[in-house]
Amino acid sequence: PCIRDFDSYSYMREWQGSLLVGWFEPESKPAFEYGTVPTQNWKNYLQNNRSHWKPLWDKVVHRLPILKNIQPNVYNCPDNFTPDGRWILGESPEVKNYYVAVGMNGNSLQGAGGIGKEVAECLINGESTQEILPFGVQRFLDLHSNKQYLQQRTREVVGRNYAILYPHQCEYKYARKLRCSPLYSVLEERGAIFGVKMAYERPLYFDSTYRIVEYLQQLCSNDANIPVGGIVHTGMQNERGGYENDCILVRQSENSYFMVSPTSQQTRIYQWMSRHLPTDHSVGLNDVTSKYTVINLVGPKATGLLSELSNSNINLSPFTYKTANVAYASDVMIMSFTNTGESGYCLYIPSEYALHVYATLMEVGKDYGVRDVGVLTQRFMRIERFIPFWAEELTPFITPYEAGSGYSVKLNVNIYQYFIGKFALQYQKKQGVTKRLVLFVVNELDINKDVWPWGGEPIYRNNEFVGTVTSAGYGFATEKHICLGFISLPGPRHTQSNMNIVTTDFIMNPTTRYEIDIAGTRFPIKPHIYPLPIP
């Protein structure tokens, strides 16, 4: 007798007076590197990978507790599997009278009688009396014998022996997108779910549930389910409620988003988001950073200038986008937001057109007084607009409520919808914050004589240390230096967190005197918990 445990992908049977346990694991390992089988001593090339079989063994012990104290003898033997998990039978299409019976997929005994009959009939009569279309060798192409393809595909073929394969719903995950029609990307954006036939990707059906929305709603603290063509600014939090990412989401279609994150996040956030992807591969993540060059067109004349270079209507509503031609460049993404808080547009230009678009903007822009500015100017402008920035104000240990961005948290959008960090943020909103980001205006600093603040300077409230400057810069509109920094209660922290709450009254008390120490000199500063009234 043979016992099969489909939950643990294992089978157990008597073998020469012992108990033999084997697996058809969900994700197997190719036996030999590059698919090349050694001509002799193949056992020397197989490693006893304990990390691979130990979790499987633990499940068997759970099923048969008597094995708990048994030290098993491990045998690592290869077997052959086909790209679709079915036997390969019949006459070779390349060589006449050459018959094959290979690829037993670990089930050679199960089909031995029928396979033997099939081979005998073909050799004697030249044809079969059985229906073998599902197993015919002609069901494959040359690409199915590609070794890299086989190494990828057979990883999941093994476990399908013990999986429940629902009709029309059990497509392969690996070694896909080999043969795609020109419509593939268009249909994918429209929600197509693809299946494979003869390596061709074909739309099985169109999914209107949009798993991408479900995925982003789990990661984002703001509501990501925005209309197509819309833009939303959101954080992605950890379980503490701290920031893992601060980004812009652009909804390009019902089933596709474009994300803009801080430059330093390119590797970090891709890794973090990849760890949270659905295991069924229903959502894909691609880094397209190198495909685009970004130009910020900032200022009240930005619409007029851009309208001269495009035949599309550029007068977009705030936080929307469209794809249009700019000068001779096609498919430029025009977003009605900037990284400075000022009016204007963010242009995401296919990199091959970037030089042309820039040159045209500068030439036509002469009549508009266009000027080049760098990232330092952008930095100063966003500080003056009280826009916190990644790795300075926003870190994994700072929450939206502490950064003054609680308005962007979707606690009440759908009370039944979970996102990472929701419970921590619910608690903090009810309890209060123990530190708060504040904007300070340095009124008495002479920009031509005094040392400028750059970040790290201590902040004092009534001569008591209460925080540190996180970023600072010159405000072009106010003509004053602006500092951002977190404020907490002075003195040692109380063991009870509710005794450390920082309130608006504590920060904005009119009798309170704030100072900043810049290189040993203290300057009076004025606090603000909301953006300055800049026109």
For the segment 267-278, the average pLDDT, to the nearest whole number, is 95
- pLDDT-based confidence at residue 266 (cuts at 50, 70, 90): very high
- Residue 429's H or E segment, with its range, is helix 422-431
Closest CA to 471 of 393, 363, 357: 393
| Distance between CA atoms of residues 230 and 207, nearest Å | 21
200: domain range? 176-208
**Is pLDDT larger for residue 410 or for residue 109?**
410
Choose one of 276, 298, 314: the last residue of a domain.
276
Q: Which residues of 243-261 are buried (b: 16+ CB within 10 A; e: fewer)?
A: bbbbbbbbbebebbbbbbb
Same-domain check for residues 349 and 385: no
Do 519 and 393 fall within a single domain?
Answer: yes
Q: Is residue 337 part of a domain?
A: yes
CATH number, residue 459: 3.30.1360.120
Q: Running DSSP on this structure, what letter comes out for residue 336? A: S
Do 263 and 333 lie in one domain? The reply is no
521 in the same domain as 384: yes
Structure tokens at 220: 């984002």
- Taking alpha carbons only, the member of 372, 366, 381, 421 closest to residue 397 is 421
| pLDDT at residue 423, as a whole number | 95
Q: What are phi and psi of 293, to 5 degrees?
A: -115, 135
User: What's 193-238 look like in SS3?
Assistant: EEEEECCEEEEEEECCCCHHHHHHHHHECCCCCCCCCEEEEEEEEC
What's the pLDDT at 217? 95
The pairing of beta strand 329-335 with beta strand 344-350: antiparallel
Q: Are 76 and 48 in contact (CB under 8 A)?
A: yes
**What's the pLDDT tens digit per position in 186-205?**
888 787 889 998 889 999 98
360 & 423 share domain: no
Output 175-179 pairs: Cβ under 8 A, ≥24 positions apart.
175/83, 175/149, 176/201, 177/201, 178/143, 178/149
| 356 is a domain residue | yes
Q: Assess contact for 161 and 24: CB atoms under 8 A.
A: yes
27: helix, strand or coil: coil
Question: What's the pLDDT at 48?
Answer: 76
Residue 389, CB half-sphere, CA atoms under 13 Å: how many?
22
Task: Please check the confidence at residue 180 and state whether its pLDDT lies above 70.
Answer: yes
For 358-403, the pLDDT digits (tens) are: 999 999 999 999 999 999 999 999 999 999 999 999 999 999 999 9
Claim to verify: residue 392 and residue 520 sit in the same structural domain: yes
* Arithmetic mean of pLDDT, 264-275: 96
Of 374, 407, 434, which one is at a domain's C-terminal end? 374
Does one domain contain both 408 and 496?
yes
Q: Write phi, then psi, for 66 (nearest 5 degrees).
A: -65, -20
Give 109's contacts (C-beta < 8 A, 6+ positions apart). Answer: none
Whether residues 326 and 398 fall in one domain: no
pLDDT tens digit sequence for 407-446:
999 998 777 789 999 999 999 999 999 999 999 999 999 9
pLDDT for the residue 170:
86
Is residue 465 scored above 90 in pLDDT?
yes
Reported as a pLDDT band with limits 50, 70 and 90, residue 271 is: very high
Q: Is the pLDDT reported for residue 238 higher than 70?
A: yes
pLDDT of residue 35: 63
Predicted confidence at residue 109, as pLDDT, reads: 83
pLDDT of res. 255: 86
**pLDDT tens profile 44-92:** 777 777 888 888 899 999 988 999 888 888 888 888 899 999 999 999 9
What's the structural domain count of the chain?
4
pLDDT for 397: 97
Strands (E), 40-161: 88-91, 99-102
Question: Based on the domain organization, do 341 and 303 belong to the same domain?
Answer: yes
Rounded to an integer, the average pLDDT of 292-308 is: 96
As a whole number, the mean pLDDT across the chain is 91
